[in-house]
Amino acid sequence: MDFEIAPEQQDLVDSVRAVLAQECPTALVRDIVENGSTPEQPWKSARELGWTAIDLPESLGGLALGFTALGLVVEQHGCRIAPGPFLATVTQFLPLVCEAGAPEQLARFAQPAGAGELRGALAIDHGRAAEQAPGESLRAWRDGAAWVLEGQRTYVLDGGSADEIAVAARVDAGDGVGLFAVPQSAVKAQRIVALDASRPLAHLRFDRVRVEPERVLGTPGRSARALGRALERAVVAASLECVGACQTLLEMTVEHAKSRRQFDQPIGAFQAIQHKCADMLVQLEKARATGHFAMMALAEDDPRRALAASMAKAAASDCQRLVCKEAIQIHGGMGYTWESDVQLFVKRAKTLEALFGTGAAHRQRIAALLEI
């Protein structure tokens, strides 16, 4: 039992931090938001340095460092509000393919995604994600050896730009869950005006999309477990990216409180400001510790993994609520401006709060798991 980051993991964290500091300044995110640019970084670095393959087995060209290492890397991405396909491809698309896919499907989808040659997305029902249900808005039925998908999936991260979409749909068999890998070109994508333009979202329309047997992941009607386990990874990763974004918000806020002077002293000398900052740290420490527990629970396939994932999301939710509020407030007038980077981090945190089940949804899930 050890919550301390091991030296080799710390080396990884340090190298990711250094690369992102270099390749992913906040200006890069701002350029996406303001000008719609499509930078090749930091995805290029993630691909070249193997971050995309951290949690893949060696048989698929992966580094087999485990989900703990991946979680730490995702947290660092959050600290820089890194844009790009990393989160959706590595922590959403890949887990579903790996949980449900047959060997040839792993070779076809997981291996290239791990190599950074394929960008993936995960289309699920965010409103039902906490309870790990497929949702009713997208249905699938059998048509000979193939399956047909009809309906929609909303707010799919990178849904307008990914190459392949991993899809969970409602089926009228067994546990009600069917999983599929669908080429993005087969669906009608409608990009929305997303809160955080560096986390682009799309509504996907499935108009009787025909899915050939080699693109059916696992057995429809016997896929609830795989969906649940994949969602747990997506949920914990989103929580850790949120923790990273909140970490930077706190650092920015403390720096501001030290340098901004009013009434002949730094505003950080006022107890009202100090206590807000202290409460921000408490929530951040809580969310990070809970997120780290969850990533270890997934890495070790601990029986508490479902509970741990929902706890991580709930703790991240508490954290972002307070940290975003106080970061804007303590920055004062500057915090209210477009020019300040605070808004960029706040929008990332709010996006991550809403995706894959809100804190409130996960608390209801926790209550159910605790049989309250």
Partner 1 sequence: MQLHYDAATEAFRAEVRAWLEANQPTPAEMRAEPVKSSAHLTGWSRRWQGRLFDAGLLVPGWPRELGGRSLPPVQQLVFQEEMARFALDRSTNPQGLEIIAPSIRDYGSDFLKEKYLLPTLRAEIAWCLGMSEPGAGSDLAGLSTRAAVHEDHFVVTGQKIWTSGAQHADHCFCFVRTDPAAPKHRGISVLILDMKAPGVRVQPLPALNDRKHVDFNEAFLDGVVVPRDHLVGQLHQGWSISAGSLAHERGMVWLTSARRLDDTLERLRALARETGPDGRRIGESESFRDAVAGLYVDAQAMWFMGYRGFAKFARGQVSPEHSVLKLFGSEITQRATRLATEAQGVDALDVDYQGWTFDDIRGRAPWMRQYLVSYGGTISAGTSEIQRNIIAQRVLGLPRR
Q: Least separation, in Å, of the C-beta of 59 and partner 1?
A: 23
Angle at 289 between CA 231 and CA 283, to 5 degrees: 100
Number of Cβ atoms within 10 Å of the Cβ of 38: 11
- The answer to whether the CB of 204 falls within 8 A of the CB of 188 is yes
Q: Least separation, in Å, of the C-beta of 87 and partner 1?
A: 21
User: Quick one: which of 21, 64, 102, 281 contacts partner 1 (CB under 8 A)?
Assistant: 281
AA identity, residue 152: Q
User: Quick one: which of 171, 314, 344, 355 contacts partner 1 (CB under 8 A)?
Assistant: 314
Cα–Cα nearest to 244, from 349, 324, 325, 317: 349
Q: Are strands 216-217 and 177-183 parallel, antiparallel or unpaired?
A: antiparallel
Partner residues linked to 188 by β-bridges: 205
Please report whether residue 9 would count as binding partner 1 according to CB under 8 A: yes
Please report whether residue 214 would count as binding partner 1 according to CB under 8 A: no
Please report whether residue 4 would count as binding partner 1 according to CB under 8 A: yes
What is the longest distance spanned by two Cα atoms in the chain? 78
User: Quick one: which of 208, 275, 332, 336 contacts partner 1 (CB under 8 A)?
Assistant: 275
Q: Least separation, in Å, of the C-beta of 4 and partner 1?
A: 3
User: Quick one: which of 113, 311, 323, 355 contacts partner 1 (CB under 8 A)?
Assistant: 311
Rounded-to-integer distance, Cα 257 and Cα 320, Å: 19
Please report whether residue 104 would count as binding partner 1 according to CB under 8 A: no
User: Quick one: which of 7, 35, 271, 338 contacts partner 1 (CB under 8 A)?
Assistant: 271
Number of Cβ atoms within 10 Å of the Cβ of 249: 29
- The answer to whether the CB of 88 falls within 8 A of the CB of 120 is yes
Q: Which spans of this chain sit near partner 1 (rule: CB under 8 A)?
A: 1-6, 9, 68, 254, 257-258, 265-266, 268-271, 273-275, 277-279, 281-282, 285-286, 289-290, 292-293, 296-297, 300, 302, 311, 314-315, 318, 360, 363-364, 366-367, 370-372
